């Protein structure tokens, strides 16, 4: 069974646009959990544009109490600043089930590429060791087509890779997803052979998720936020979570 982890960044964007506490992040997380999701994901950025360090602490406590996984994403090389203690320290404080390392810069609206393992793994290795020492599982965000470096990633303690599925989603919308889907499936196969579990995320939605899931039967987790929250504006949050779970099943 593939775990659905709901990314709550967009709930925090809406809250921060007005100030105050509405919509309530805790209530949104509880609604998703009550509807059956297996995890909650957040990607707190140093500029605090949506999910904050305080939100991470709140959701860490909630997910532990509700016994679902908590996945914290971020750039481990982003410097500390007021209101953001740095990614490794944030994970040390929250102790999530999973830390997903993403090479995004401060100015990016959203993540748009993965790590180059042949270039970046030497820098990542000591951080992976630090994160593993907190007791969390480490996942690396990688592009579809990545083959080199997967075995080395496993050797330094990486447990999973998350496939960046933006190009697949865009190709699906254009009606020609076969090549991108094959690239994703090929990377997933190589990752599995290297002893890595496979996650996926970015621009997945109810239209393109089923084909993706069928092409990668070993898929461990999908992290979905933007599309799910957008669809929930029309259909409601709990029903939308249940729709995704039905697709994954």
Catalytic choice (50, 73, 162, 231): 73
Place of tokens 């992290």: 223
Q: 143 - beta bridge partners?
A: 164
- Active-site residue flag, 226: no
Which helix (H) or strand (E) segment holds residue 71: the answer is strand 69-74
Instruction: Answer for the pair 33, 4: CB distance below 8 angstroms, yes or no.
Output: no
State how far the Cα of 45 lies from the Cα of 131, in Å rounded to an integer.
18
Catalytic choice (50, 180, 202, 221): 202
- Active-site residue flag, 43: yes
State how far the Cα of 171 lies from the Cα of 164, in Å rounded to an integer.
13
Catalytic choice (43, 50, 180, 190): 43
Other beta carbons less than 10 A from residue 216's beta carbon: 22
Most distant CA pair in the chain, distance: 48
- Residue 15: name the closest of 4, 31, 26 by CA: 26
State how far the Cα of 28 lies from the Cα of 14, in Å rounded to an integer.
12
Instruction: Answer for the pair 214, 191: CB distance below 8 angstroms, yes or no.
Output: no
- Active-site residue flag, 113: no
Please enumerate in sequence order all residues whose Cβ is within 8 A of that of 151, keeping only pairs 6 or more positions apart, or say none: 194, 195
Residue 200 tokens read as 């996926």
Residue 154 tokens read as 């496993």
Catalytic residues, by residue number, are 43, 73, 202
């Amino acid at each position: 069974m593939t775990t659905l982890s709901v990314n709550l960044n967009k709930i925090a964007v809406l809250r921060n646009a007005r100030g105050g506490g509405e919509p309530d992040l805790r209530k949104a997380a509880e609604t998703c959990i009550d509807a059956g999701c297996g995890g909650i994901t957040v990607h707190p950025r140093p500029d605090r544009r949506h999910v904050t360090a305080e939100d991470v602490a709140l959701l860490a406590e909630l997910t532990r109490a509700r016994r679902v996984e908590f996945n914290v994403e971020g750039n481990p090389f982003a410097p500390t600043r007021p209101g953001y203690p740095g990614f490794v320290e944030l994970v040390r404080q929250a102790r999530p089930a999973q830390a997903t390392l993403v090479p995004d810069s401060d100015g990016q609206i959203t993540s748009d590429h993965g790590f180059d393992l042949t270039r970046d793994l030497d820098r990542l290795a000591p951080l992976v060791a630090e994160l593993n020492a907190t007791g969390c599982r480490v996942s690396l965000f990688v592009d579809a087509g990545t083959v080199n470096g997967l075995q080395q990633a496993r050797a330094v303690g990486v447990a999973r890779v998350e496939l960046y599925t933006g190009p697949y989603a865009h190709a699906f919308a254009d009606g020609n997803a076969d090549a991108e889907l094959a690239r994703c499936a090929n990377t997933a196969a190589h990752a599995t052979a290297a002893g890595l579990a496979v996650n996926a995320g970015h621009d997945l939605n109810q239209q393109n998720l089923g084909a993706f899931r069928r092409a990668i039967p070993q898929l461990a987790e999908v992290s979905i936020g933007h599309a799910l929250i957008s669809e929930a504006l029309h259909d409601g949050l709990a029903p939308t979570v249940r729709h995704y779970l039905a697709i994954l099943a």
